[in-house]
Amino acid sequence: MNSKSEQFMTVGAAKGWAEVGQSHPHESAILHVLGEAVYTDDIPEAQGTLHAALGLSPKAHARILSINLDPVKAMPGVVAVYTYKDIPGTNDCGPIIHDDPILAEEKVEYVGQPIFVVVADTHDHARHAARKADIQYEDLPAILTPQAARDAESFVVPPMRLTRGDAQAAFERSPNILKGTLNVGGQEQFYLEGQISYAVPKEGNGMHVYCSTQHPTEMQHVVSHALHYPSHAVMVECRRMGGGFGGKESQSALWAACAAVSAAHLKRPVKLRADRDDDMMVTGKRHCFFYEYEIGYDDEGLITAAKVQMVSRAGFSADLSAPVATRAICHFDNTYYLSDCDIRAMAGKTNTQSNTAFRGFGGPQGAIAIEYIVDEIARNLGKDALDVRKKNFYGRNDEEGRNVTQYGQKVVDNVIHDLVGQLESESAYRARREAIRAFNATSPVLKKGMALTPVKFGIAFNVTHFNQAGALVHIYTDGSVLVNHGGTEMGQGINTK
């Protein structure tokens, strides 16, 4: 083999060109290590590139009385300033319900809501200028918590309810009743690469948008609607993201639209890169939830009735709050059979950022409630929480009746009994629990704990037609292969997979 062939084989192996069934390295691993992997902010800027920043609301809920942008325009390096009136098409970036303006119109509905875009010669000039607007407001009442939203009947979508059996009758038969509340906070996705879009005008009223997004197709739709362009005139490209975790699914749309609108007006490339503080002010998080629950159970810890009301902080618009709530309803049972249950979910409209997708997408918010409840039942009965969990597991495959979820899906190939049994044995769970009890009995300050918690994770979408995928495979005459697929690379190695 000559040196050129050897070199080709080495490069091929590094890129993961190997037989099916073998372990493959991440196709960009070497680029990551060498710092050569190109992210959106690394793309060489075209000549004439300008930089944008957003002017943000300091009010949670207020009517805009007047806007004076002359101080912004007077700042060094400023080229243009745009408001919602300068959007040629639709002022909306809502992924499902169209209630999410790109730029605020007559009122603002959360601290950090974008009101205008300023375009300047440098990033710093744009950002400094964005702070100089003179805007007068009339304050309006603000709803900030899920409980306040529920009490005011303020929702972004109608409340949801899923029932099975007769929960009320089951409560009347239950030997023990447990009632309580639970608060679970949200989270910031905190991707290492922040929100960024780089819009480059093309000939014939085309627009090429480089965008750090988990959903390029949705960005194409939002940009085309905002510009009033046909979809075929807009191309959205994302080679890779520096993390997404759901925060760049729907919420990259605002940044893409603002960059594209500015670029279309100026006929020059415009980059909009959010500094971390602006990013965290504008974008939504994992939904925080407030729960009220009532649980019936027997003296062995078997749940005989369950009633829960879950209220999420959706934020000022719907975004993806409806499917998050639906998924929470379908994960409240986790790995446990609930014979008689009444599960309700509400997506509270609040004057905060519009919360959005986050890994698990409502599943963790549903499961954490029942796990908290099971722990409380165990404490009340003086039992090990693992024993209560095992008592409530879905039935094995031959146990008709105890292997159907509250939404009607039959649980097949149920391995939870065997899996937990193996973990309990191989982890020496019982011995370690005894050792922890002994330690805690003699330690007045430091305490230890241990838990073995099962998880059911639904891999499908509640909207059935979403559960599909396709790929286009090109096989070239030199034996190399190119695969076009609908996934985005955010560090998980999807291109290698």
CB of 308 closer than 8 Å to CB of 333: no
Instruction: For residue 339, give both structure tokens.
Output: 């014979």
CB of 370 closer than 8 Å to CB of 196: no
- 217: in domain: no
Sign of the C-alpha dihedral, residues 240, 246, 247, 248? positive
Sign of the C-alpha dihedral, residues 455, 459, 460, 462? positive
Interval 463-489 mean pLDDT:
92
- 8: in domain: yes
Domain final position from 394, 425, 452? 394
Calpha distance 237→242 (Å, rounded): 14
pLDDT of residue 235: 98
> 440 and 421, same structural domain?
yes
Residue 397 pLDDT grade (very low, low, confident, very high; cuts 50, 70, 90): confident
pLDDT of residue 18: 55
Interval 399-417 mean pLDDT:
90
End-to-end CA distance of the chain: 30
pLDDT of residue 10: 45
How far CA 122 is from CA of 71, 202, 234, 290, in Å, comes to 17, 22, 25, 44
- 183: in domain: yes
The continuous run of DSSP H or E covering 176 comes out as strand 176-184
- 442: in domain: yes
- Of residues 464 and 155, the one with the higher pLDDT is 155
Domain final position from 348, 365, 394? 394
> 417 and 366, same structural domain?
no
Contacts of 303 by beta carbon, 8 Å cutoff, 6+ apart: 295, 296, 297, 336, 338, 339, 377, 392
257-269 pLDDT, tens digit per residue, is 999 999 999 999 9
- 77: in domain: no
Q: Has residue 2 got a pLDDT over 60?
A: no
Domain final position from 338, 364, 394? 394
- 272: in domain: no
Calpha distance 471→196 (Å, rounded): 27
> 456 and 416, same structural domain?
yes
Beta strand spans in 284-354 (E):
289-297, 303-315, 341-349
Q: Has residue 8 got a pLDDT over 50?
A: no
Q: Has residue 478 got a pLDDT over 80?
A: yes
> 295 and 170, same structural domain?
yes
> 383 and 290, same structural domain?
yes
76-93 pLDDT, tens digit per residue, is 999 999 999 999 999 999
> 446 and 318, same structural domain?
no
> 306 and 291, same structural domain?
yes
> 307 and 180, same structural domain?
yes
- Amino acid letter at 244? G
> 349 and 461, same structural domain?
no
pLDDT of residue 117: 98
pTM score, whole prediction: 0.93
* Number of domains composing the chain: 3
Helix, strand, coil tally for the chain in percent (to 5): 30, 25, 45
pLDDT of residue 5: 43
* Angle between helix 416-426 and 429-442 (nearest 10): 60
CATH classification of the domain holding 337: 3.30.365.10
105-148 pLDDT, tens digit per residue, is 999 999 999 999 999 999 999 999 999 999 999 999 999 999 99
Q: Which domain, by its residues, includes 421?
A: 395-403+412-466
175-217 pLDDT, tens digit per residue, is 999 999 999 999 999 999 999 999 999 999 999 999 999 999 9
Instruction: For residue 441, give both structure tokens.
Output: 């009995």
321-353 pLDDT, tens digit per residue, is 999 999 999 999 999 999 999 999 999 999 999
> 416 and 367, same structural domain?
no
> 361 and 453, same structural domain?
no
Residue 469 pLDDT grade (very low, low, confident, very high; cuts 50, 70, 90): confident
- Of residues 249 and 11, the one with the higher pLDDT is 249
pLDDT of residue 371: 98
Interval 61-74 mean pLDDT:
98
- 67: in domain: no
- Amino acid letter at 135? I
- 196: in domain: no
CB of 395 closer than 8 Å to CB of 414: yes
Interval 451-455 mean pLDDT:
95
> 151 and 297, same structural domain?
yes
